[in-house]
Copies of this chain bind each other. A is one copy, B any other.
Amino acid sequence: MTPRSENYSQWYNELVVKADMAEQADVRGCMVIKPYGYAIWEKIQRILDDKFKETGVQNAYFPLLIPKSFLSKEAEHVEGFAKECAVVTHYRLKTNEEHTGVVVDPAARLEEELIIRPTSETIIWNTYRNWIKSYRDLPILCNQWCNVMRWEMRTRLFLRTSEFLWQEGHTAHATREEAEERARMMLKVYADVVENYMAVPVIQGVKSETERFAGALDTYTIEALMQDGKALQSGTSHFLGQNFGKAFDVQFVDKNNQLDYAWATSWGVSTRLMGALIMTHSDDNGLVLPPKLAPIQVVIVPIYKKLEELAVISERVADIVARLRAKGITVKFDDNDQKKPGWKFAEYELKGIPVRLAIGARDLANNSVEVARRDTLTKENMSLDGIDDKIVALLDDIQKTIFEKARAFRDGMITKVDSYDDFKRVLDEKGGFVLAPWDGTPETEARIKEETKATIRCVPFGTPDEDGLDMLTGKPSKRRVLFARSY
């Protein structure tokens, strides 16, 4: 595998495929998520879903296809979005005249074209119109897990694909305050899951006007930092005001018997999180997975020469496996006789299994086992007495250690600058996040982006007021904002 230092981008592409996470499909820009990768995604899904439900959210399902005219109803939304879309124009195929294949039946042309959802605000708010008549019908807190499609020109597995999987939450509220609170609440759920389960540290904040979701009054974001010093937007939550309520005429009678438009939020994370997970922790030997998301947490490899030795080891291992499983640990005993231990070690390093136990006849005689941890690549011998509790503690430690390591790296990659020269130098020589004064105008933001490829990732929550001068224009700046080059 290409080392990270040589070509980070190529390392990533190779790792995703070699570790059996995903591969390019024979459909432009689309991916196949392989079972090993999907098992991790399922764990992320389950954790998020449980946390959504704890806040009162319910799942539902809305149509894949959106009538073209819906997209035009919210003016900003269609301007900022929805242009690179898959368009359905026909609804039937027929056998060709030579009877060798199928062609599109020209007689089966749709009156109005349908768009494969790039996001579902329009179709959902069109539906909410019939659900919302009174403040008693509010709030509505719906989420859906589904596929979406945006016709991306340059794609990369998990990070940017034409089709991807995600969840999109869409809530409707009687008041502005409640909607704003919901948008922030869901960002906190994202930050919780990404930090405490994926072990990926994030900076929470609010987007600049330019970087907002098309149709939002405010977009909140969590921003992670990859090992190459580039930022990765990992989840967003939008306060949409009454824009969609007005565009789709969703009015309700409020407590004072007055008609008002419903207030909206939407929020989503996608299979892009898989990219963040892989890039944050992994190394030149392969994946490094946080124990809380690893499909297999512990692998046991027998070391033996003769099959009789394997039989003796297997018997003892059965007991260890039972004890680990009783603690809720996922264990695999790899007694495949076709592969050498060295091959297995490399394979499980590649797959990111957090803990590897190796057991030979001598270990058994000593009542011990060799324990290797994937994150540090260190090994130690441990007594088999109380091995189950020790492994529980070790998995906890690995979860903490990889998070702390990623956070220390990220913290070391936040640089304060005041001049544009320093800004450009830091971006080129060091990378990472740069905290710099900004005059607050989209024009300055655009020039900086054009000249440096860096964008405002967010204004981090809790950023103090700090009078300064914009590094480019010299105009007054009220606070620093967080810049970075990004995925």
A-side residues, CB < 8 A to B, are 23, 25-27, 30-35, 38-39, 42, 58-69, 71-72, 78-79, 82-95, 100-102, 104, 113-116, 123, 126-127, 130, 136, 142, 146-147, 149, 151, 163, 165, 338
With A32-B60, A72-B102 in contact, is A65–B86 under 8 Å at CB? yes
- Contact across chains for A69 and B101 when beta carbons are under 8 A apart: yes
Contacts A32-B63, A83-B102, A87-B90 aside, 14 further interface pairs with beta carbons under 8 A come to: A31-B63, A32-B62, A32-B127, A61-B165, A64-B147, A65-B86, A65-B163, A72-B100, A83-B93, A84-B91, A86-B114, A88-B116, A93-B115, A116-B116
* Max chain B Cβ within 10 angstroms of own Cβ: one of A66, A71, A72, A88: A88
With the chains together, A62 CA to B24 CA distance in Å?
Answer: 10
In the bound complex, residues from chain B placing their C-beta under 8 Å from that of A59 are 35, 38-39, 42
Q: How far does the alpha carbon of A163 sit from the alpha carbon of B88 in the complex, in Å?
A: 14
Residues from chain B with Cβ under 8 Å of A23 in the complex: 130
Is there an interface contact between A27 and B67, defined as CB atoms closer than 8 Å?
Answer: yes
Contact B33 A60 (CB under 8 A): yes
Q: Give the residues in chain B near A61, CB-CB below 8 Å.
A: 32-33, 38, 165
Main secondary structure of the interface of A (DSSP, over half): mixed
CB pair B89 A102 closer than 8 Å: no
**Closest B residue by C-beta to A165:** B61
What are 15 A-B interface contacts by the 8 Å CB criterion?
Answer: A27-B63, A34-B60, A38-B58, A61-B165, A68-B93, A69-B101, A72-B102, A78-B102, A82-B93, A84-B92, A87-B90, A87-B92, A89-B89, A89-B90, A89-B104
Name the one of B42, B58, B100, B165 contacting A35, with C-beta atoms under 8 angstroms.
Answer: B58
A415 CB, min distance to chain B CBs, angstroms: 39
Residues of B within 8 A of A102 (CB): 68, 71-72, 78, 82-83
Q: In the complex, what residues of B have CB within 8 A of residue A82's CB?
A: 93, 102
| A173 nearest CB across to chain B (Å) | 16
A275 to B: closest C-beta gap in Å:
15
Chain B residues near A71 (CB-CB < 8 A): 93, 102
**Nearest neighbor of A164 in chain B, beta-carbon distance:** B61
Which has the most chain B C-beta neighbours within 10 Å: A38, A69, A338?
A38
Nearest B-chain residue to A83, judged by Cβ: B93
Residue pair B30, A63 in contact (C-beta under 8 Å): yes
Chain B residues whose C-beta falls within 8 Å of the C-beta of A149 in the assembled complex: 64-65
A25 close to B63 (CB less than 8 A) = yes
Assembly CA distance A42 to B33 (angstroms): 22
Q: What are the residues of chain B within 8 A of A69 when measuring CB–CB?
A: 101
The CA-CA distance from A88 to B64 in the complex, in Å, is 13
Across the interface, which residues of B come within 8 angstroms of A91, CB to CB?
84-87, 151
Partner of A65, one of B30, B78, B83, B101: B30
